[in-house]
Chains A and B, each alone.
Chain A
Amino acid sequence: GQQLNQSPQSMFIQEGEDVSMNCTSSSIFNTWLWYKQDPGEGPVLLIALYKAGELTSNGRLTAQFGITRKDSFLNISASIPSDVGIYFCAGTLIQGAQKLVFGQGTRLTINP
């Protein structure tokens, strides 16, 4: 099925560092969503992007909907221990589509 290529698969950083992860696809996406999942929990929506070129912030998090509509990135500034978790990108392929296509996830580990 349709895949989103999410990278990196894992990151090991020091507390206070900035983080960047991205998702790419060969297909055009209508919506990009970024979720964070803690162990044993469901994904929590961080940022939703609905227009090409859209740049949205949520506290220390910033995400952008790529102009080509085939990619999106998520940046985290000044990382803190509670940022640890798995980050998933997801999106819908066509307008009105309900199903989400998910990336494989980026596992973020922070050394204090």
Chain B
Amino acid sequence: GAVVSQHPSWVICKSGTSVKIECRSLDFQATTMFWYRQFPKQSLMLMATSNEGSKATYEQGVEKDKFLINHASLTLSTLTVTSAHPEDSSFYICSAMTSGRTDTQYFGPGTRLTVL
């Protein structure tokens, strides 16, 4: 149980384009999902907390207009990187919590974004 998927697993795009990443909870409903960014050889950095039906809460320093988050259903959250630039290239990982425990996160497999 507690399986989280992400799509796509990798994406290459041109500078200036927008990219959408999907995060799905496959076998449970997730009222809260999280989006992280990970640089090589570093730990995970929380970008935002996504709550179903409401606006996402962004961490300090994360541009909400660049990283658009939509949590339209209990099983789907999307992260859209708008007007992507090479510095946005990174490994993006989502996570979700089950309704049973609000202190345990299950992670997706990640999405490797490369902006040319």
Contacts and interface: CB of A to CB of B under 8 A. Distances in A.
Interface of A: 30-31, 33, 35, 40-45, 48, 50, 88, 90, 92, 95-100, 102-105
Contact of A98 (B2, B44, B97): B97
A92 B102 CA distance: 10
Q: 7 closest Cβ contacts across the A-B interface?
A: A42-B107, A31-B103, A42-B110, A92-B103, A102-B43, A43-B107, A42-B109
B43 A98 contact: no
Nearest to B109: A42
Contacts of A98: 32, 34, 49, 97, 102-103
Nearest to A93: B103
B103 A40 contact: no
Contact of B46 (A50, A92, A99): A99
Contacts of A88: 43-44
Interface residues on chain B, size class: 20 to 34
Given A102-B43, A103-B43, A97 B103 contact: yes
Given A88-B43, A105-B43, A40 B110 contact: yes
Given A88-B43, A99-B46, A104-B43, A41 B110 contact: yes
Contacts of A45: 2, 104-107
Nearest to B107: A42
B102 A96 contact: yes
B104 A33 contact: yes
B107 A35 contact: yes
